[in-house]
């Protein structure tokens, strides 16, 4: 594919398309081309952590065991 079909211009800067993108230079999170506000980003990360914790709830006795 030609390069112009694989990237798109966004406010004068080229970005690869994708569902989830992190701009390390500006420390911003983009989801489906929309920039997430820092509060919403934190809430999404907290929700992901909560989901992972709920998934592993039966293994909670191992969470803080040394060497586990």
In a 3-state reduction of DSSP, which class is residue 42? helix
* pLDDT tens profile 25-67: 888 888 888 888 778 878 888 999 999 999 988 888 888 888 7
* pLDDT tens profile 1-20: 555 555 555 554 555 567 88
CB 40, CB 31: distance < 8 Å: no
The widest CA-to-CA distance across the chain, in whole angstroms, is 53
């Amino acid at each position: 594919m030609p390069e112009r079909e694989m990237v798109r211009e966004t406010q004068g800067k080229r970005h690869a398309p994708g569902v989830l993108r992190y701009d390390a230079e500006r420390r911003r999170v983009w989801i489906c081309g929309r920039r997430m506000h820092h509060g919403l980003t934190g809430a999404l990360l907290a929700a992901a952590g909560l989901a992972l914790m709920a998934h592993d709830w039966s293994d909670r006795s191992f969470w803080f065991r040394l060497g586990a």
